[in-house]
Structure 1
Amino acid sequence: MGRTRRRIPSVVPLALSVVVAVALSGCSDGGGKKDTSEATAKDFLAKWQAGDIPGAANLTDDPAKATTQLTEAGKQLQLRQAEYTPKSYSKDNGTLTYSAKLTVQGIPQPIAFDSAVPVVKKDDKTVVKWQSTIIHPQYTEGAKFSNTRKSPDRAPIQDRDGKNLAGATPAVAISLWPAQMGNNAEAIYAALSDPVFDKDIPKLRDTVAKSNPDQKVPVVTLRKDVFDSKARAKLAPFGAAIKLDDITLQTSDKAKQLVGSVGDADADTLKKPGYENAAAGDQVGKSGLQARYQAQLGGTPTSKVMIKGPSGQEIATLASTEGKPGTAVKTTLDPRVQALAEKVMAENTNGMNASIVAIDTKTGGILAAANNPASGSNRAFEGHYAPGSTFKTVTAAALIQAGLKPTDPAACDPTVVVNGQTFKNYDGLQPIPNANFGTDFQQSCNTGFISQRDRIQNDTLTKVAGDVFGIGQSWDVGASTFDGAVPPADSPNKKAASMIGQGDVQASPLVMASVAATIASGTFNQPYLVDDPALKKVASKPVDPALGQQLKSLMQSVVQGGTAQMLKSIPGTVGAKTGTAEFSEGGKILTNGWMIAFKDGIAVAVIVEKGESGGKAAGPVVQAFLSAV
Structure 2
Amino acid sequence: MPMSRGVKTGIIGTVFAGMLGVAGFGAYNIYTGLDSGGGGGGSSANEQSSPTNSAPPSGKDVTDIASDFLTAWSSGDITRAAQLTDSPRTSTGALTAYKTQAHVTSVEFTPSPPTETAPTVVPFTVTAQVSYQGVAVPWSYRSSLAVVRGIAGKPVVQWKQSVLNPHLGDGDTLVTGQVPAPDLEIVDRKGRVMDPADYPSLVRIIPDLRSRYADKVGGGTPGTETYVEKGDQSAPQTLNVLKKGKPARLETTLDATIQKAAEKAVTGKDKSGVTAVDVNTGGILAVAYNPASGFDYALRDNAAPGSTFKIVTSAALLEHGMTPSSPAKCINGANINQGKPYKNDGNMNNPSANLKWDFAQSCNTGFILKANTIGTSGLKNAAAQFGLTKEWNIGTPTQDPSVPGGSGDEFTSEMIGQGQIQASPLIMASVAATARTGDFHQPRIVAKSLIEGPIATAPGISQQTSQYLRQMMRSAITSGTASGVMSGFGPDSGAKTGSAETDTSAEPNGWFTAYDGSVAAAAVVHSGGHGNQSAGPIVAAVLRAS
Report how far residue 541 of structure 1 moved.
4.0
What CA distance in whole angstroms lies between the structure 2 residues aligned with 1:545 and 1:215? 72
| Letter paired with 1:366 | I
Partner of 2:303: 385
Query: Given that residues 509 and 529 in structure 2 are in contact (C-alpha distance below 8 angstroms), is that contact kept between their aligned partners in structure 1?
Result: yes
Instruction: Note the residue ranges of structure 1 that are not aligned, 5 or more in a row.
Output: 1-141, 149-174, 192-207, 217-225, 263-284, 303-323
3-state SS, counterpart of residue 458 of structure 1 = helix
| Letter paired with 1:603 | A
Report how far residue 620 of structure 1 moved.
2.1
Report how far residue 378 of structure 1 moved.
1.6
What CA distance in whole angstroms lies between the structure 2 residues aligned with 1:424 and 1:557? 22
| Letter paired with 1:333 | L
Answer 1 or 2: which has greater strand percent: 1
Match of 2:530 among 580, 599, 613: 613
Match of 1:439 among 340, 354, 357: 357
3-state SS, counterpart of residue 421 of structure 1 = coil
Query: Given that residues 221 and 248 in structure 2 are in contact (C-alpha distance below 8 angstroms), is that contact kept between their aligned partners in structure 1?
Result: no
Report how far residue 475 of structure 1 moved.
1.2
Give the direction of change, closer, same or farther, for the CA distance of 1:463–1:542 in structure 2 (3 Å limit): closer
Report how far residue 600 of structure 1 moved.
0.4
What CA distance in whole angstroms lies between the structure 2 residues aligned with 1:232 and 1:183? 29
Residue deviations 1:456-510 (CA, integer Å, cap 9, x gap) = 12122122111x2101311110111112111121x32111111000011111111
Q: How does 1:415-430 map to 2 (within 5 A)?
A: 415-418=333-336, 419-426=338-345, 428=346, 430=348
| Letter paired with 1:289 | L
Q: How does 1:402-417 map to 2 (within 5 A)?
A: 402-417=320-335
Query: Given that residues 429 and 522 in structure 2 are in contact (C-alpha distance below 8 angstroms), is that contact kept between their aligned partners in structure 1?
Result: yes
Give the direction of change, closer, same or farther, for the CA distance of 1:246–1:143 in structure 2 (3 Å limit): closer
Q: Report percent identity of matched pairs.
A: 36
Partner of 2:428: 512
Match of 2:197 among 227, 243, 253: 253
Match of 1:482 among 399, 403, 406: 399
Give the direction of change, closer, same or farther, for the CA distance of 1:400–1:227 in structure 2 (3 Å limit): farther
Match of 1:545 among 463, 467, 484: 463
Query: Given that residues 525 and 541 in structure 1 are in contact (C-alpha distance below 8 angstroms), is that contact kept between their aligned partners in structure 2?
Result: no
Partner of 2:278: 360
| Letter paired with 1:551 | L
3-state SS, counterpart of residue 259 of structure 2 = helix
Residue deviations 1:540-585 (CA, integer Å, cap 9, x gap) = 6453111111111111111011010021312451100000101101
Report how far residue 598 of structure 1 moved.
0.2
| Letter paired with 1:593 | G
Question: Are 1:400 and 2:318 matched, yes or no?
Answer: yes
Partner of 1:160: none
Partner of 2:446: 530
Partner of 1:502: 418
Report how far residue 258 of structure 1 moved.
3.5
Match of 1:575 among 494, 499, 517: 494
| Letter paired with 2:395 | G
Question: Are 1:336 and 2:246 matched, yes or no?
Answer: no
What CA distance in whole angstroms lies between the structure 2 residues aligned with 1:445 and 1:405? 16
Query: Given that residues 395 and 499 in structure 1 are in contact (C-alpha distance below 8 angstroms), is that contact kept between their aligned partners in structure 2?
Result: yes
Give the direction of change, closer, same or farther, for the CA distance of 1:623–1:261 in structure 2 (3 Å limit): closer
What CA distance in whole angstroms lies between the structure 1 residues aligned with 2:27 and 2:38? 23
Report how far residue 628 of structure 1 moved.
3.4
Report how far residue 594 of structure 1 moved.
0.6
What CA distance in whole angstroms lies between the structure 2 residues aligned with 1:339 and 1:564? 24
Match of 1:234 among 144, 158, 171: 144
TM-score by length of 2: 0.61
Give the direction of change, closer, same or farther, for the CA distance of 1:213–1:401 in structure 2 (3 Å limit): farther
Report how far residue 292 of structure 1 moved.
4.1
Query: Given that residues 297 and 326 in structure 1 are in contact (C-alpha distance below 8 angstroms), is that contact kept between their aligned partners in structure 2?
Result: no
| Letter paired with 1:340 | A
What CA distance in whole angstroms lies between the structure 1 residues aligned with 2:205 and 2:316? 42
3-state SS, counterpart of residue 424 of structure 1 = coil
TM-score by length of 1: 0.54
Partner of 2:408: 492
Report how far residue 522 of structure 1 moved.
2.2
Give the direction of change, closer, same or farther, for the CA distance of 1:415–1:377 in structure 2 (3 Å limit): same
Partner of 1:36: none
| Letter paired with 2:405 | P
Query: Given that residues 260 and 290 in structure 1 are in contact (C-alpha distance below 8 angstroms), is that contact kept between their aligned partners in structure 2?
Result: no
Further displaced range: 617-626 or 336-345: 617-626
Report how far residue 393 of structure 1 moved.
0.3
Query: Given that residues 262 and 541 in structure 2 are in contact (C-alpha distance below 8 angstroms), is that contact kept between their aligned partners in structure 1?
Result: no
Match of 2:437 among 514, 518, 521: 521
What CA distance in whole angstroms lies between the structure 1 residues aligned with 2:197 and 2:50? 38
Partner of 1:205: none
What CA distance in whole angstroms lies between the structure 1 residues aligned with 2:200 and 2:296? 10
Match of 1:604 among 510, 521, 542: 521
3-state SS, counterpart of residue 497 of structure 2 = strand
What CA distance in whole angstroms lies between the structure 2 residues aligned with 1:404 and 1:227? 77
What CA distance in whole angstroms lies between the structure 2 residues aligned with 1:369 and 1:539? 22
Q: How does 1:557-576 map to 2 (within 5 A)?
A: 557-566=475-484, 567-571=486-490, 573-576=492-495
What CA distance in whole angstroms lies between the structure 2 residues aligned with 1:430 and 1:594? 20
Instruction: Note the residue ranges of structure 2 that are not aligned, 5 or more in a row.
Output: 1-25, 63-85, 95-122, 127-139, 148-156, 166-173, 185-194, 224-244
Give the direction of change, closer, same or farther, for the CA distance of 1:455–1:261 in structure 2 (3 Å limit): closer
Give the direction of change, closer, same or farther, for the CA distance of 1:184–1:331 in structure 2 (3 Å limit): farther
| Letter paired with 1:525 | H
What CA distance in whole angstroms lies between the structure 1 residues aligned with 2:93 and 2:357? 72
Give the direction of change, closer, same or farther, for the CA distance of 1:434–1:484 in structure 2 (3 Å limit): same
| Letter paired with 2:510 | G
Q: How does 1:100-139 map to 2 (within 5 A)?
A: none
Question: Are 1:289 and 2:191 matched, yes or no?
Answer: no
Query: Given that residues 484 and 506 in structure 1 are in contact (C-alpha distance below 8 angstroms), is that contact kept between their aligned partners in structure 2?
Result: yes
Partner of 1:593: 510
| Letter paired with 2:313 | T
Query: Given that residues 572 and 600 in structure 1 are in contact (C-alpha distance below 8 angstroms), is that contact kept between their aligned partners in structure 2?
Result: no
Match of 1:375 among 290, 293, 304: 293
3-state SS, counterpart of residue 563 of structure 1 = coil
Residue deviations 1:422-458 (CA, integer Å, cap 9, x gap) = 11111x2531121011111111110110000001121
Query: Given that residues 388 and 594 in structure 1 are in contact (C-alpha distance below 8 angstroms), is that contact kept between their aligned partners in structure 2?
Result: yes
What CA distance in whole angstroms lies between the structure 2 residues aligned with 1:446 and 1:608? 21
Report the count of equivalent residues. 381
Report how far residue 183 of structure 1 moved.
7.6
What CA distance in whole angstroms lies between the structure 2 residues aligned with 1:369 and 1:522? 23
Partner of 1:133: none
What CA distance in whole angstroms lies between the structure 2 residues aligned with 1:592 and 1:478? 28
What CA distance in whole angstroms lies between the structure 2 residues aligned with 1:334 and 1:185? 59
Report how far residue 621 of structure 1 moved.
2.0
What CA distance in whole angstroms lies between the structure 2 residues aligned with 1:569 and 1:417? 37
Query: Given that residues 177 and 243 in structure 1 are in contact (C-alpha distance below 8 angstroms), is that contact kept between their aligned partners in structure 2?
Result: no
What CA distance in whole angstroms lies between the structure 2 residues aligned with 1:185 and 1:380? 53
